[in-house]
């Protein structure tokens, strides 16, 4: 068995920015209420003519260039998304076409906000097995299209965007381990019930969330899955240089760092200006910190995700 290492990162955020002040003019909310409870100040919203694969394409091109490669070097594409362009083909296949890639495999992963963690874990296994050499792993979402913009409990939380990494075969460990979990008994606390049948939308087409239940689950799950990764690798929180969690809510993120005993300056945060971008949030945070030069080669990063299903997971890696 071989190893896999992240060789490049990229991201894309739609041009349109929706601030809390704009939302104040549309729904019964306030900037103070949103910031105090979530830490979110603004979020990006895709243009009417932008679809998930468009966002993924921009992030992917940036990641491939950052890795010093070309699209022809990629032989595996995995896209984590809840908001695919269409029922099928997969967003990954549509992205493959837009990149001009004609070899290898391409498929989507649906684990909502944990999607990128799941996708990165899968890509790691493919590369470690020797079956593939270079994987493009993408988290991309247009969550704005499954939100009820009159529901102040949910519409203030989410945004659109895409992040990508290029994972490559390596002689030394890049990814130490990944740990994935789910509990379908919690499927009702965060969901979109809508579907298509007979040419009609069935069920409720907008996001529904039990905020308190999600918060409790997230805080517990993130702490436990981080400790699971550390125990598996015979390490302690002191061995973590950076914590890169799903950007859901500032209180969840800070509580996770505090429970692990990590200084908050080790926490990568993008939630204030991006909101919760679901499967895109971890790779967006990765690229933001990498672009700022915050990671040094050899740093140990703990990536964490939690989302609908409920699903949760961690990836512990060396930069």
pLDDT, tens digit, for every residue of 273-312? 999 999 999 999 999 999 999 999 999 999 999 999 999 9
Same domain, 111 and 194: no
β-pairing verdict for 160-170 and 134-142: antiparallel
Task: Find all residues with CB under 8 Å of 125, minimum gap 6, and list them.
Answer: none
Residue 1 has pLDDT above 80, yes or no: no
Q: Which of 145, 172, 199 is the last residue of a domain?
A: 172
Closest CA to 164 of 225, 263, 82, 92: 92
Q: Are 130 and 2 in contact (CB under 8 A)?
A: yes
Q: Which of 128, 155, 172 is the last residue of a domain?
A: 172
CA dist., res. 303 & res. 75, Å (int): 24
User: What is the Cα 220 distance to its own chain's centre?
Assistant: 19
Structure tokens at 174: 């890049």
How many domains does the chain fold into? 2
Which of helix, strand or coil describes residue 138? Answer: strand
**Containing structural domain, residue 12:** 3-172
Same domain, 157 and 259: no
Same domain, 41 and 94: yes
pTM: 0.98
Give the domain CATH number at 157.
3.40.47.10
pLDDT, tens digit, for every residue of 133-192? 999 999 999 999 999 999 999 999 999 999 999 999 999 999 999 999 999 999 999 999
Give catalytic residues, as residue numbers: 113, 246, 276
Phi and psi dihedrals of 255, rounded to 5? -65, -40
Q: Which of 111, 140, 172 is the last residue of a domain?
A: 172
């Amino acid at each position: 068995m071989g190893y896999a290492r992240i060789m490049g990162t990229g991201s894309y955020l739609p041009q349109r920015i929706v601030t809390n002040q704009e939302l104040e003019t549309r729904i019964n909310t306030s900037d103070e209420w949103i910031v105090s409870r979530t830490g979110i100040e603004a979020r990006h919203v895709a243009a009417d003519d932008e679809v998930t694969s468009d966002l993924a394409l921009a992030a992917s091109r940036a990641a491939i260039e950052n890795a010093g490669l070309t699209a022809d070097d990629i032989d595996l594409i995995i896209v984590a998304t809840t908001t695919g362009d269409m029922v099928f083909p997969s967003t990954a296949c549509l992205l493959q076409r837009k990149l001009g890639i004609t070899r290898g495999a391409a498929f989507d992963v649906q684990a909502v906000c944990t999607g990128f963690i799941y996708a990165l874990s899968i890509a790691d296994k493919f590369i470690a097995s020797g079956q593939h050499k270079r994987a493009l792993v993408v988290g991309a979402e247009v969550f704005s299209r499954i939100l009820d913009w009159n529901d102040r409990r949910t519409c203030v939380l989410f945004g659109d965007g895409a992040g990508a990494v290029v994972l490559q075969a390596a002689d030394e460990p890049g990814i130490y381990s990944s740990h994935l979990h789910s509990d379908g008994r919690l499927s009702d606390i965060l969901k979109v019930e809508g579907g298509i049948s007979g040419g009609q939308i069935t069920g409720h087409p907008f996001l529904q969330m039990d905020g308190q239940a999600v918060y409790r689950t997230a805080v517990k799950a993130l702490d436990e899955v981080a400790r699971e990764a550390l125990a598996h690798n015979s390490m302690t929180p002191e061995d973590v240089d950076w914590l890169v969690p799903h950007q859901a809510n500032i209180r969840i993120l800070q509580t996770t760092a505090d429970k692990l005993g990590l200084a908050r300056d080790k926490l990568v945060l993008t939630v204030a200006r991006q909101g919760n971008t679901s499967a895109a949030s971890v790779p967006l945070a990765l690229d933001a910190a990498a672009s700022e030069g915050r990671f040094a080669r050899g740093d140990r990063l703990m990536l964490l995700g939690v989302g609908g299903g409920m699903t949760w997971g961690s990836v512990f890696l060396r930069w």
